[in-house]
A and B are shown apart, each in its own frame.
Chain A
Amino acid sequence: MIRAAAALWLGLLVAAPLLVVGAMSLGVPADGVPPYHIPLLSGEGLGEAEAWSVLTEDGHFLGALWRSLWLAGISAGCCVVLSYPMALGLLRLAPRWRGAVLGLALLPFCVGFVLRMAGWVGLLRDSGVLNQALLAAGLIEAPLPMLYSDGAMLAGMVHGYLPFALLPILAALAARDRALEDAAADLGASRLTIFRTVTLPVTARAGLAGFLLVFIPAAGEFVIPELLGPPEALLAGRAIWQEFFSSRDWPLAAAASVALLGVLLGPMLLWQRAQR
């Protein structure tokens, strides 16, 4: 029963859309609804698979894909690096405070995603809270161009995805055997050495899981770069969005989607292995 439901769910919501997108990527743009024509379905053979050759030969898409992976990697790295001290700090609190403080840390995530990003816009724009405060304090003479920068984009990404890294790392640190750290201290290891040689290695799987849980969705992210990032930063998510909705080249967009998925399969398999 459960198996059948799972198979149905996977079939309807994962396999079928994937097949549609896969087929679409083999078509050519055309006027009409839908705006493409698939030679394979009309018995005209495979056709040129033009979208795929554009994708692989045009540096535009490969560059966007590379920048996306780069941004996702840095975002995931920042999330993991921030999660460790946050989680260790949380676990140092008395248990009765821990739940409340964790709740506070996660409270922003009860607010809608777009609203949170709008918050960053309000904070960082030229007439925003931060610039006004700095101007009022006389520290700067003209507003700093903080919004629409790589920094703003990264801040938004880390803010948006932090819980995906924080929660597995927190769970692993809470479940770790404290006697190991006592033993390391007893054997003469400094606190930093204990963290490097014991705490980090025994929670490495959770750290990797947290990294990948951020990396995988972050690689396809397009709302945050759109709202906070520099206009020239073309990322895979935005490139796909543009092809679908602005250029109306659905086959190219579909091919780019399939390529992004293909690239992310590696990290997904790695994440699955980290769970074992």
Chain B
Amino acid sequence: MSLKVEALAKRFGDVPALEGVSLEVGRGEFVSLLGRSGSGKSTLLRLVAGFEAPDAGRILIEGRDMAGLPPQARPCAMMFQSYALFPHLSVHENVAYGLRRAGQYSAARVEEWLALVGLAGFGARRPAQLSGGQQQRVALARALARKPPLLLLDEPLAALDAGLRAATGAELRRLQRETGTSFVMVTHDQAEALALSDRIALLEGGRVVQIGPPDAVHARPATRFVAEFLGAANILEEAGASFALRPEQIQLGGDIPARVLTRQFRGEAWMLECEAADGRRLRVSVPAQGEVPAEGDAVALGWPASALVPLA
């Protein structure tokens, strides 16, 4: 086990940030902490890194209890959302910083890391002379240089242009696999979390509300919050209970009469916004290859009972 968090709690003044969070991250696993701002995900990361002390609970990294240890003494490394590159040091010296503190510095080792993140030959530059994507890779190389068993990433892609994000995410995943490092990534972007992680932990109000592989969490959200947050699921209220119903599970040709309000082309599918006769709004995904109803058309909708996922 790379990281084990037990019943962690933290308050800031009167405001609870974390309320009894438990989490396990296996060796070489990529776990995302997904939630809105204020959900406690960044606090969890800062507690693990040692920048804040928990009010209750335990943190174990590689089986060692971290209680009372300052960030310097913890085996994990952190990659900051702002990258926090040292502006007065060259790219080479930024990557060398941790190695020098540990007495492991060699110029060749730094160059190796720069090459691994695709920045060979950039060592003499200052961070301000690099693009956002290049700075992100320097931050990654700097955090990984001492080969920590566990890397904590705080919104590593948030500062990048949308166009760069997908490619950089794939790069992140490649480096994680190549180095065998456990990654714990904080993000508010569900697509990013679904695409990159082995498992996703969803946080709401300082608690973990669901944890599991991306496909499982996506297919069977445990709560209304998860269903809404993971995007686009319809929430149905039936007989006093709530159910999630994914747009791609709804078929045209059922027994519920409805009308198409709007439709949006999403590449591989059309997303129809429909209004049923009883006033319910439903989002329906229709494959792009087939026949697609136009806006204003009357349709009949249906779904198998198994498509309804009960929500807590």
Interface residue ranges, A against B (CB under 8 Å)? 177, 179-180, 182-190, 193, 197-198, 201-202, 204
Could you tell me if B72 and A188 are in contact, using CB atoms closer than 8 angstroms?
Answer: yes
Partner of B78, one of A177, A180, A183, A190: A183
Top 5 A-B pairs ranked by shortest CB distance?
A: A187-B98, A188-B101, A183-B84, A179-B84, A185-B71
| Closest B residue by C-beta to A178 | B84
Question: Would you give the shortest CB distance from B55 to chain A, in whole angstroms?
Answer: 20
Closest to A182 in B: B51
* Interface residues in B75-107 (C-beta closer than 8 Å to A): 77-78, 80, 82, 84, 86-88, 97-98, 101-102
CB of B70 within 8 Å of the partner chain:
yes
User: Are A182 and B97 closer than 8 Å at their CB atoms?
Assistant: no
Interface residues of B in 215-259 (CB under 8 A from A): none
Residue among A187, A193, A198 with the highest chain B CB neighbour number at 10 A = A187
Interface size of B as a range: 20 to 34
Given A201-B88, A202-B87, A183 contacting B72 (CB threshold 8 A): no
Q: Which of A188, A190, A198 contacts B102 (CB under 8 A)?
A: A188
- Contact partner of B84 (CB less than 8 A), chosen from A182, A193, A204, is A182
Minimum CB distance partner of A202 in chain B: B88
CB distance from A184 to the nearest CB of B (A): 7
Instruction: Give CA–CA (A94, B151) in the complex, Å.
Output: 32
Chain A residue numbers with a CB within 8 Å of B50 are: 186
Contact (Cβ within 8 A) A180 B101: no
Q: Are B88 and A182 in contact (CB under 8 A)?
A: no
B72 and A185 within 8 A (CB) = yes
A187: chain B residues within 8 A (beta carbon) = 77, 97-98, 101, 142, 146
> Is the CB–CB distance between B70 and A184 below 8 Å?
no
Could you pull out 28 A-B pairs where Cβ atoms are within 8 angstroms?
A: A177-B84, A179-B82, A180-B86, A180-B87, A182-B71, A182-B80, A182-B84, A183-B80, A183-B142, A184-B86, A185-B71, A185-B72, A186-B49, A186-B71, A186-B78, A186-B143, A187-B142, A187-B146, A188-B101, A188-B146, A189-B72, A189-B97, A189-B101, A193-B101, A197-B86, A198-B86, A202-B86, A202-B88
With A and B bound together, what is the CA distance between A184 and B80 in angstroms? Answer: 11
Q: Which residues of A contact B143 (CB under 8 A)?
A: 186
Q: A174 CA to B98 CA in the complex, in Å?
A: 26
Query: Complex formed: what's the CA distance from A204 to B87 in Å?
Result: 12
**CB-CB < 8 A to A177: which residues of B?**
82, 84
Q: How far is the CA of A261 from the CA of B78 in the complex (A)?
A: 52
A169 to chain B, nearest CB (A): 16
Query: Which of B51, B84, B102 has the most chain A CB atoms closer than 10 A to its own CB?
Result: B84
